[in-house]
Amino acid sequence: GDSVTQMEGPVTLSEEAFLTINCTYTATGYPSLFWYVQYPGEGLQLLLKATKADDKGSNKGFEATYRKETTSFHLEKGSVQVSDSAVYFCALVDTGRRALTFGSGTRLQVQP
Amino acid sequence: GAGVSQSPSNKVTEKGKDVELRCDPISGHTALYWYRQSLGQGLEFLIYFQGNSAPDKSGLPSDRFSAERTGGSVSTLTIQRTQQEDSAVYLCASSLRPTGTMEMNTEAFFGQGTRLTVV
């Protein structure tokens, strides 16, 4: 079945540091890939998505590229801020499915 | 409302009791999803409703779990004879169109969840 694997957290960075959160997936079809973010006390929000190979999703300075050859969708940001502290979830929807399959989440803590 | 609303936000119940969790999706959204987030784990799909079609119940972990969606809007997730392993955050999401299609307007909007604690 479908699955998503994320690097375990917490990831602790200083402000303005470079961020990478690794995500790899297993799917039988041609999935769409997503990153969701959960800020403290808030619900999950879509951060970015990519629907086919080599697509790059971007939002709020975050980027992720759909790499079919490595089945990966790593999240990156060049310079993190304290306000980026949150839990980040990688997810996919496989062809013909309707529900999202999520990874276990990675907590990011950015220190001033 | 402006977003997906879930109630209650917190629920503590005794083992063996039944509980009902409510979800008010965004008005006009035809697709509604329930997920469960257990401590230290990712979100686990439970059930999916789309319009008047039969729901996809493939994620329900046991027959103690059931859900309904009345009038294509509000949904209730019911857990009978609760067990301690049912303790989790139960999340509801809705989308204008089903996620996973290539159409526009497929983003799933999530509520803040109901934290269920079975003691």
pLDDT tens digit sequence for B1-48? 579 999 999 999 999 999 999 999 999 898 999 999 987 677 899 999
Q: What is the pLDDT of residue A28?
A: 84
CA distance B102 to A29: 14
Minimum mean pLDDT among A29-38, B4-13, B61-70, B93-102: which range? B93-102
CA distance B82 to A101: 25
Answer whether B43 sits within 8 Å of A89, measured CB to CB.
Answer: yes
Q: Is B93 left (phi over 0), alpha (psi -120 to 50) or beta?
A: beta
A43 part of contact set with chain B, CB < 8 Å: yes
Task: State yes or no: pLDDT of B83 exceeds 70.
Answer: yes
Q: What is the pLDDT of residue B103?
A: 58
Answer whether B42 sits within 8 Å of A51, measured CB to CB.
Answer: no
Residues of B with CB under 8 A from a CB of A: 3-4, 31, 33, 35, 40-45, 48, 50, 56, 59, 91, 93, 98-100, 102, 107-113
**Whose CA is closest to A60, among A33, A93, A40, A86?**
A86
pLDDT tens digit sequence for A49-87? 998 899 999 999 999 999 999 999 999 999 999 999 999
Task: State yes or no: pLDDT of A15 exceeds 60.
Answer: yes
- Classified as helix, coil or strand, A83 is helix
Q: Which residues contact A106 (CB under 8 A, 6 or more apart)?
A: A6, A7, A8, A9, A10, A11, A21, A87, A88, A89
**Mean pLDDT to the nearest integer, A13-32:** 93
Answer whether A45 sits within 8 Å of B98, measured CB to CB.
Answer: no
Task: State yes or no: pLDDT of B94 exceeds 90.
Answer: yes
Nearest to A46 among B31, B35, B107 (CB): B107
Phi–psi pair at B84, nearest 5 degrees: -60, -30
Task: State yes or no: pLDDT of B104 exceeds 60.
Answer: no
Find out whether B50 and B58 touch, Cβ atoms under 8 Å: no
Tally the residues of chain A.
Answer: 112
State which residue of chain A sits closest to B49, comparing Cα positions: A98
Kindly list the residues from chain A whose CB atom is less than 8 angstroms away from the CB atom of residue B40: 104
Strands (DSSP E) found in B27-112: 31-37, 43-50, 65-69, 75-79, 88-95, 109-110
Nearest Cα of chain B lies from the Cα of A2 at a distance, in angstroms, of 12
State which residue of chain A sits closest to B91, comparing Cα positions: A43
Amino acid identity of residue A89, one-letter, is: F
